[in-house]
Amino acid sequence: MNARIVFMGTPEIGAKILKGLIDNNYNVVGVVTQPDKPVGRKGIITPCPTKNVAINHNIPVYQPSKIKDDFDFLYDIKPDVIITCAYGQIVPQALLDIPSIGSINVHGSLLPKYRGASPIQQALIHGDKITGATIMEMIDKMDAGEMYDKEEVVINDNDNYTSLYEKVGDAGLVALLRMLPKYINKMIIGEKQDENQVTFCKKISKEEEHLSLDYTKEEFINMVKGLSEVPGGYLLYNDLVFKIFDARIENDIVSHQIGEIVEANKKRLLLQLKNGQIALLKVQKQGKSKMDYKSFINGENKILGSILK
């Protein structure tokens, strides 16, 4: 069956899934993304990555500002399947009922763990060793539908949000392409989620980007990983934003005030936390470029003894 597919997605992970469908000769007849938004300091109106893929392959693009109020165009398209991945809006049940076969979602965790908006970040923040992607039925309850397929991803010690985002996107595409022929031909049975194992996660707030000095060194490192390379977790240095993109645990020594820079030289840039010290490896002072700690210290030779907040 040459099923008519409508894809709904917005950021890079959505573009990856859409490109994979196209490359595997699926009949994508329409793409729904969020409206174009201003990007960068100059606020240039920019199409999202998923829209760019659609345009490059001459697929019609639809960008309603509120999908719950504006989806009648889908009745005209007559999709057999709707596939969503990181679309960015709550999709109403009436829309999910339109396709003749059904609506499925590519979710960035091993459900029922981390239902919600930040599953990839949360796996890092919680220090997980394994995560992955789940292909699930779309229903009118957040990430609660039956599961059709999963693909695991190993989280390495050097992974951060940027690298894990790529790996989870790849895993989602593998799982989707594996199950989609069976789904289209109605030869697959979903597995119900265990409600006793459900956890939820919200979108990372602006406040959470300000790293807490109440964290243990382990918690601090995990937050740095979960926020890197975008948007970047930060502390304040002389009241300026001081982003930390990479760091490692150095020792268990508690000898200085929490938040104090206790060493700053070509060997190390050390920050005191409540149960030990961590080495800052890649940083960015407000108004400056991102750089390794050696380059930073060369231009900031008075940071030793400073208290970050």
Domain stops at, among 175, 201, 227: 201
In a domain, 20, yes or no: yes
Give per-residue pLDDT as tens, 18-68: 999 999 999 999 999 999 988 877 888 889 999 999 999 999 999 999 999
276-285 and 240-251: which strand pairing?
A: antiparallel
Q: Residue 67 burial by CB count (10 A; 0-12/13-18/19+): exposed, middle or buried?
A: buried
Domain CATH code at residue 236: 3.10.25.10
pLDDT for the residue numbered 1:
63
pLDDT of residue 126: 97
Q: How many CB atoms lie within 10 A of CB 80?
A: 18
Per the DSSP assignment, residues forming a β-bridge with 138 are none
Q: Are residues 184 and 253 in the same domain?
A: no
The answer to whether residue 156 sits within a structural domain is yes
User: Which residue, chain included where needed, has tokens 């760091």?
Assistant: 247
Q: Answer yes or no: are the C-beta atoms of 101 and 79 closer than 8 Å.
A: no
Q: Is 209 helix (H, G, I), strand (E, B) or coil?
A: helix
Domain that holds residue 49: 4-201
Contacts of 10 (CB under 8 A, 6+ apart): 33, 34, 48, 49, 50, 86, 87, 88
Mark whether 10 and 80 lie in a shared domain.
Answer: yes
Residues 236 and 136 occupy one common structural domain: no
pLDDT < 50 positions in the chain: none
On whether both 179 and 212 belong to a single domain, the answer is no
Prediction pTM value? 0.94
Each residue of 217-236: pLDDT tens digit? 999 999 999 999 999 999 99
Can you read off the two tokens belonging to residue 150? 């999963």
Residues 215 and 194 in one domain: no
Same domain assignment for residues 153 and 263: no
Q: How many domains, in total, are found in the chain? A: 2
- 91 close to 84: Cβ distance less than 8 angstroms: yes
Q: Do 219 and 293 belong to one domain?
A: yes
